[in-house]
């Protein structure tokens, strides 16, 4: 039996032929791919540390923050989930300096095949990480936009045609059928032509660079078998999670006893044991 202990963070990923996943990257880092097919246990010690300030907290908010950080940090504001609601220009941003480096920078609007084809956005520096975190098997940039706010407005426009949500239960039951993302992109541009023209008139044509020949990325995940039914493990209800590791996709460990969203439990201190 091999044992490790540490505070959970979002799994680090590396896009190779099959995505490689690492936990405890603040220590030496442990590659989870090596544990496929092995019996593992994750035991929550009862300690939660805020992922921002390291304060010990009784309850976690927004995937790992203590309540004071949840209330004051721009990274926890509602406009992070809904960037079209950005209020930096109104002078009410929680952290204007943070926004300058995270929001007032180029963003990519993309199509991804997760549980279905969806539109999404991310900072240009976060590709392909964002696609992997969502469990996408295909992804293709369709535009580069000057700011997060503007990318959010374009995302809302495109989402009326293709949607912007991932059904995580469906995503974890297997890879969806391959889609022709280039054809979907062409149809989307035609459907949204009037709305795009309005955005360009409002912010200037240079604010939106539409990508007609961006390459498509295909992603393979380390999975031995897919679950037929999805049962979610929850450290707040059950301190011990154990089973045979059958696969990893998105930010989920797939055990033969259920799935565990590692990102959801950011800041939770756990002991991990793997059978030799």
Identify the DSSP state of 115: S
Residue 2 pLDDT grade (very low, low, confident, very high; cuts 50, 70, 90)? confident
How far apart are the C-alpha atoms of 230 and 261, rounded to whole Å? 12
How far apart are the C-alpha atoms of 33 and 204, rounded to whole Å? 46
Residue 40 pLDDT grade (very low, low, confident, very high; cuts 50, 70, 90)? very high
Residue 276 pLDDT grade (very low, low, confident, very high; cuts 50, 70, 90)? low
Whether the CB-CB separation of 7 and 265 falls below 8 Å is answered with: no
> Which tokens go with 217?
């990325």
Whether the CB-CB separation of 249 and 11 falls below 8 Å is answered with: no
User: Containing H/E element for 270?
Assistant: strand 268-274
| Whether pLDDT at 26 is above 90 | no
Whose tokens are 């930010």? That residue is: 251
Whether the CB-CB separation of 73 and 97 falls below 8 Å is answered with: no
Whose tokens are 């202990």? That residue is: 5
Q: What is the pLDDT of residues 125-170, one digit of tens each?
A: 999 999 999 999 999 999 999 999 999 999 999 999 999 999 999 9
Identify the DSSP state of 125: G
How far apart are the C-alpha atoms of 266 and 113, rounded to whole Å? 26
Whose tokens are 């374009």? That residue is: 154
Whose tokens are 């006893």? That residue is: 257
Mean pLDDT, residues 227-248: 97
Domain total in the chain: 2
Which of 218, 236, 253 delimits the end of a domain? 218
Q: 86 lies in a domain?
A: no
> Which tokens go with 157?
């426009």
Same domain, 156 and 195: yes
For residue 275, the model assigns a pLDDT of 86
Same domain, 140 and 186: yes
Whether the CB-CB separation of 1 and 274 falls below 8 Å is answered with: yes
Same domain, 200 and 229: no
Mean pLDDT, residues 43-51: 97
How far apart are the C-alpha atoms of 248 and 32, rounded to whole Å? 8
How far apart are the C-alpha atoms of 52 and 174, rounded to whole Å? 34
Rounded to a whole number, what is the distance in angstroms from the first to the last CA of the chain? Answer: 5
Q: 248 lies in a domain?
A: yes
Q: 151 lies in a domain?
A: yes
Q: 255 lies in a domain?
A: yes
For residue 25, the model assigns a pLDDT of 77
Residue 29 pLDDT grade (very low, low, confident, very high; cuts 50, 70, 90)? confident
Give the domain range for residue 172.
107-218
Q: 123 lies in a domain?
A: yes
How far apart are the C-alpha atoms of 211 and 209, rounded to whole Å? 6
Mean pLDDT, residues 28-43: 93
| Angle at CA of residue 120, ends 88 and 198, nearest 5° | 65
């Amino acid at each position: 039996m091999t044992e490790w202990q540490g505070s959970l963070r979002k799994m680090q990923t590396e896009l190779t032929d099959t995505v490689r996943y690492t936990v405890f990257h603040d220590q030496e880092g442990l590659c989870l791919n090596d544990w496929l097919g092995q019996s593992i246990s994750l035991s929550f010690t009862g300690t939660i540390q805020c992922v921002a300030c390291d304060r010990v907290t009784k309850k976690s908010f927004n995937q790992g923050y203590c309540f004071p950080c949840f209330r004051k940090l721009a990274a926890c504001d509602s406009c992070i989930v809904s960037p079209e609601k950005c209020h930096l220009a109104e002078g009410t941003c929680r952290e204007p300096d943070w926004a300058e480096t995270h929001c007032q920078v180029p963003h990519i609007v993309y199509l991804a095949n997760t549980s279905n084809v969806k539109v999404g956005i991310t900072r240009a520096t976060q590709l392909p990480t964002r696609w992997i975190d969502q469990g996408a098997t295909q992804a293709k940039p369709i535009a580069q936009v000057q700011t997060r706010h503007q990318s959010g407005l374009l995302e809302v426009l495109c989402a009326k045609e293709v949607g912007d949500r991932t059904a995580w239960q469906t995503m974890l039951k297997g890879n969806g059928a391959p889609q022709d993302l280039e054809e979907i992109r062409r149809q989307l541009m035609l459907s949204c032509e009037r709305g795009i023209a309005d955005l360009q008139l409002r912010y200037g044509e240079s604010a939106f660079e539409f990508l007609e020949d961006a390459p498509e990325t295909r992603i393979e995940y380390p999975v031995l078998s897919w679950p037929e039914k999805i049962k979610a493990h929850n450290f707040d209800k059950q301190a011990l999670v154990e089973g045979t590791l059958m696969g990893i996709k998105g930010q989920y460990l797939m055990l033969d006893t259920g799935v565990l969203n590692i990102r959801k439990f950011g800041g939770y201190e756990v002991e991990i044991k793997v059978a030799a």
